[in-house]
Amino acid sequence: MTPSCFPFSFRHGLVIRDNYIYQNGRVGISWSGMGDGKTVGSGTVVYNNHVEVAAGTTCWSHDGKKKMTGHDTNENRGYNQKGYGSNVTLNSGHINRQKAADTPYMTVDGEGILQQSMNGNDGLRNMWYKNDLSGGSTGYLAFYNLYNVEYNHLIDNVAAAGEFIGVVTDSMHNNVKNNLCQGNKPKCKGI
């Protein structure tokens, strides 16, 4: 996914701010966009929002046909990022997973802020600053299996207890360099 082949995902000047979202699964705020191609955080601004995913709920089915199991997801995600150069600042979240139908398991996912591998997406020149995802039972901040994770600034963010902040890679997605990661709780992994 690049600006030349997918231009509507790389718009300039987008701002998402001052929202309160209460939900029961799926994604609270999802965006794309692009910065100036040089400056960290010069793209879409996601500022001072709060996403709360209801606690203590059960997801019986995500398609209305099949009962949920322990490996199914209803996403239960706070913030979902695509594009390049986002400025994600002073957002908060209480993120919780759901019980999977009548099993003893919780649904998978439950990210606080996520940029994941989609159509060859890269994590380039993003600013994640002073976001607090500590209010729920889950809520990590991650770049997940992107081909390139470069020139990102992750500063003074807080993940939920027992979660992490950083990069998840595999052997095909492992170009991680020139990132700044400081003052986060917990400290970054993989950067």
Contact 14, 33 (CB under 8 A): yes
So what's the pLDDT on residue 7?
74
| Band (119; pLDDT cuts 50, 70, 90) | low
- Structurally, the chain folds into a number of domains equal to 1
So what's the pLDDT on residue 125?
97
Residues in CB range of 1: below 8 A, 6 or more apart: 9, 82, 118, 119, 120, 121
**29 domain-assigned:** yes
pTM as predicted: 0.93
Quick one: which of 35, 40, 37, 39 has its CA closest to 15? 35
**189 domain-assigned:** no
- Determine the structural domain holding residue 54 and report its residue range: 7-182
**188 domain-assigned:** no
**106 domain-assigned:** yes
d(CA 181, CA 159): 14
For residue 121, pLDDT over 90 is answered with no
| Band (132; pLDDT cuts 50, 70, 90) | very high
